[in-house]
Amino acid sequence: MTRNLLRLFVAIKLDDPVIVGRIARLQEDLAAAGLRAKFVEPENLHLTLKFIGEVPQEKARRIQRALNDIKRRSFDIDLRGLGAFPSMERPRVIWIGVSEGASQLEGLASEIEDILMRHASVRKSGKAFHPHLTIARVKGRVTPSARRVLEKHSSDIFGKISAREFLLVKSTLTPRGPIYDVVERYDLS
């Protein structure tokens, strides 16, 4: 990454310690079952609304200003069940799903994409938005033991959070994993 470029995304942070603890225990169970994966660190758990990518600093300032135009109410998000991309049979990314709050997340993500395209020339992703919380990126074959852990927790209820803000986040990639810094917070009133 060039020094003058910022790698950005927009997200809702997961900071409820009880839910983070439940997810951390699940990650530990998967690791103990032999799942070779890069697990998302507890402090980095978030629901991505829009991955922007690397942009020059001036464009980052336009993005930061454009996001101020989002005016939405706060809402609840119910985190439940496990899923995987591209599928549970061949997982590359393991995630926790969203039941309540999914339509609000979809609407917020769509509005963010529209505003960033109009006011900051950020391209639309071209993919359908699927609300989820990534917990692991799988690095190899899934062991039978890990598959059993995934099946055991496939319908778990992890908890409910209240989305009261969303964040513009700078991601710095390091050999030990990404470091996230909040650029700006935007209230959902």
Edge to edge, the sheet with strand 46-56 lists 46-56, 5-13, 165-172, 179-187
Alpha-carbon distances, residue 43 vs 9, 19, 75 (angstroms)? 16, 12, 22
Catalytic, 46? Answer yes
Edge to edge, the sheet with strand 91-98 lists 37-39, 132-138, 91-98, 75-86, 157-163
DSSP for residue 101: T
Question: Which residue is catalytic, options 46, 119, 130, 153?
Answer: 46
Catalytic, 132? Answer yes
Using only C-alpha atoms, the chain has a radius of gyration, in whole angstroms, of 17
- Angle CA(171)–CA(70)–CA(105) in degrees, nearest 5? 70
Beta strand 157-163 with 75-86 is: antiparallel
Active site (catalytic) residues? 46, 132
